[in-house]
Amino acid sequence: MLILNSVVNGVLFGGVLALMAFGMNLMFGVVQIVHLAYGQFIMVGLYLVYVLAILYHVPLLLSCAAATAAVALLSILAYYLVVKPLLKAPPINQLLALAGVWMVLENACLALFGATYKGVQVVLPVLHVGELYIAASNLIGFVVGLITLAMLYLFLNKTYTGVAIRAIAQDPEITGIMGVNPRTVYLVTFAVGGALAGITAACFVPVYSVHPHFGGAFTLLAFIIVILGGMGNLLGGFIGAFIIGVVTSVSSTLLNPEIGQIIVLLICLLIIIIRPQGLLGVRGK
Amino acid sequence: MLKIEGLHAGYGGFEVLRDVSIEVGAGETVAVLGPNGAGKSTLLKVIAGLLKPSSGAIHFENRRIDGKAPYEIVEMGISLVPEGGRLFPELTVYSNLMMGSFNKRTRRYFKDSLEEVASLFPIIKQRKNQVAGLMSGGERQMVAIARALMSRPKLLMLDEPSSGLAPKIVASIFEFVKEIKDRGYSVLMVEQTVKKAVNVADHIYLLESGRVEFHGKKEDFLENPKIKRSYLGI
Ligand SMILES: Nc1ncnc2c1ncn2[C@@H]1O[C@H](COP(=O)(O)OP(=O)(O)O)[C@@H](O)[C@H]1O
Ligand SMILES: [Mg+2]
């Protein structure tokens, strides 16, 4: 029962992870850039919710919505200031520049908020469903994650901009002769990726307190999920998120959270060694 | 309609096209023939805006287009079917066609364009939910031409539509090209297989090592003794 319980909670948490990884995966697939500062955008989102809800007493849901919009704007800003000038630069330069964004955001938060944990103290109940104990925070994350992903699915399949985003990930040259201005697509992708970081932050509000070094672990976690599923493969990332969610949850219950993290990293290493293209990735792509 | 003058282009320092001048009149079908490596694909890439020429000028409907971005050139009414079709392999046929009508000029006519194109290629309706990467080579080529037509081009450019296809399918592809021509489109086609291409063309250019070695009407091409010997095998 204990294991089943943690499997269920792991699956639920996987919903948020899927959302988080989707943003990084999308930016990688479309712009061919590994967004090293992705976790820091989530961190900024959490700080914004803290500032609005606690310091300015804005209602929590409104704070979350505003934080999401602000992180999307920040992502657009990062695109214009850092990514766009380096679109044709070697990948290492892009990585270093995004590492720079990471440093700037971390240290800005350190300067503004100090090194202590800040959080919105929302206490959500634990629900009894039959013999299962389900954290309401996990359930909320799961529902929000899946609804957002369903909307993204429609966007990517039904709208011109969405289909262009998928097309450019497959063949950028030909996408141009379809009448697509790649810069516009990159911009939209960064806006969407930023919004996803913001929504992820909103889902994290009842789960985590935030501190200036909060982001790194989540950049890493998102990256691991993306590698697990196959870089740029959206469905693979989706499945990978649930695997990581369950593995983390079960190993934390049976052993402890630190061992859980080690196991996640081991899975990542194994994938890189045995199946570098990821679960659903295609070799050589 | 399309006028190319003194075009030079290449990759890095490596010059591929040397002083190429080509004209396509409205409603005309022009074939640029030449062996592998002659620079045929390079020529179409330059026109489509995928490669910047090093010198020369390209005018389309009296507007200068060289140096413009690919997405601007589609808006003006030039569409390219790249070598091998280059469909988006993970998108469905329908989504590929959607991409074809992406440009602002024709997006709102999507439904009409689809009907029009489906009257030529019924396959696009039968297979609309199939993922393009799983189709056969001939089917992909048809969908690629359909995708290009979705942008309602004034000038359709075809890069070796017959390459890699079985002879029977090649014949049907050229039937389609003929049908497209009869519907009033201007066509600029590059090909290696001479005979089939010559049949549908009004004007022929012969490109060798990046230079135009011959140009003229189909009849002159067929009568030219040197060409008879080296290209037509008679
Ligand atoms: N992307 C490229 N980079 C460098 N050289 C190229 C590239 N594409 C083609 N070439 C070279 O340009 C020449 C002409 O190629 P291409 O235009 O593809 O010829 P064709 O289509 O007539 O077979 C060839 O020598 C080829 O090797
Ligand atoms: Mg070629």
Calculate the alpha carbon distances from A105 to A47, A75, A127, A171, B184 in Å: 11, 12, 36, 33, 59
DSSP tag of B131: B
Report the domain count for chain A. 1
Does residue A111 sit within a domain?
A: yes
Q: What length does chain A have?
A: 285
Q: Has residue A89 been placed in a domain? A: yes
Q: Contacts by A146-153 with C-beta closer than 8 Å and gap 24+?
A: A146/A15, A148/A19, A148/A196, A148/A199, A149/A18, A149/A19, A149/A22, A149/A238, A152/A22, A152/A192
Instruction: Give, in order, the Cα–Cα distances in Å from B184 to each of A25, A284, B24, B172.
Output: 44, 43, 13, 19
State which residues form the domain around A38.
2-124+133-274
- pLDDT single digits (tens) B161-183: 998 898 889 999 999 999 999 99
Answer yes or no: is A21 within a domain: yes
Inter-chain CB proximity A178 and B89 less than 8 Å: no
The answer for B 12-51 residues in CB contact with A (under 8 A) is: 48-50
Among A171, A179, A181, beta carbon nearest to B88: A171
Mutate to test the pocket of ligand 1, among B7, B8, B16, B17 (most ligand atoms within 8 A of CB): B16
Cβ–ligand 1 contact at B210 (below 6 Å): no
In whole angstroms, give the CA distance from residue A214 to residue A62. Answer: 23
Helix ranges (H only) for B101-223 are 110-120, 123-126, 137-149, 167-182, 194-200, 218-223
**d(C-alpha B127, C-alpha B120), whole Å:** 14
**B78-81: strand order across its sheet:** B78-81, B155-159, B186-191, B29-33, B203-208, B211-217
> Hey, is B2 helix, strand or coil?
strand
Sheet holding B2-11, edge to edge: B14-24, B2-11, B55-60, B63-64
pTM confidence score: 0.91
Contacts of A56 (CB under 8 A, 6+ apart): none
In three-state secondary structure terms, B207 is: strand
Helices of type H across chain A = 2-31, 38-50, 60-78, 91-113, 136-158, 160-170, 172-177, 182-204, 214-229, 234-254, 257-274
Domain of A177: which CATH number? Answer: 1.10.3470
Class of domain B24-51+66-77+153-234: alpha beta
Helix (H) or strand (E) holding B80: strand B78-81
User: Residue A275: phi, psi to the nearest 5?
Assistant: -140, 75
At B179-225, the pLDDT tens digits run 999 999 999 999 988 888 888 999 999 999 999 999 999 888 888 87
Domain boundaries, chain B: 24-51+66-77+153-234, 86-152
- DSSP class of A85: G
B39 CB within 6 A, ligand 1: yes
Residues 6+ apart with CB under 8 A from A60: A49, A53, A120, A122, A205
A282 within a domain of the structure (yes/no): no
**Can you tell me which residue has the tokens 């001939």?**
B138
pLDDT tens string, chain A, 285 residues long: the values are 788 888 998 999 999 999 999 999 999 999 989 999 999 999 999 999 999 999 999 999 999 999 999 999 999 999 999 999 999 899 999 999 999 999 999 999 999 999 999 988 888 888 888 888 888 888 999 999 999 999 999 999 999 999 999 999 999 999 999 999 999 999 999 999 999 999 999 999 998 999 999 999 999 999 999 999 888 888 889 999 999 999 998 988 888 888 888 888 898 899 889 888 888 876 544
**Any A CB within 8 A of B90 CB:** yes
A161 residue type, one letter: T
Whether A43 is in a domain gets the answer yes
Residue A283 belongs to a domain: no
Q: Which residue has the tokens 């959270």?
A: A257
* Residue A57, CB-side half-sphere exposure with 13 Å CA sphere: 0
Q: What is the ipTM of this complex?
A: 0.92
Where do we find the tokens 């799983």? B134
Beta-strand pair B78-81/B63-64: unpaired
Question: Are A157 and B98 a contacting pair at CB < 8 A?
Answer: no
Residues of B with Cβ-Cβ distance to A173 under 8 angstroms: 50
Closest Cβ opposite residue B102 in set A160, A166, A170: A160
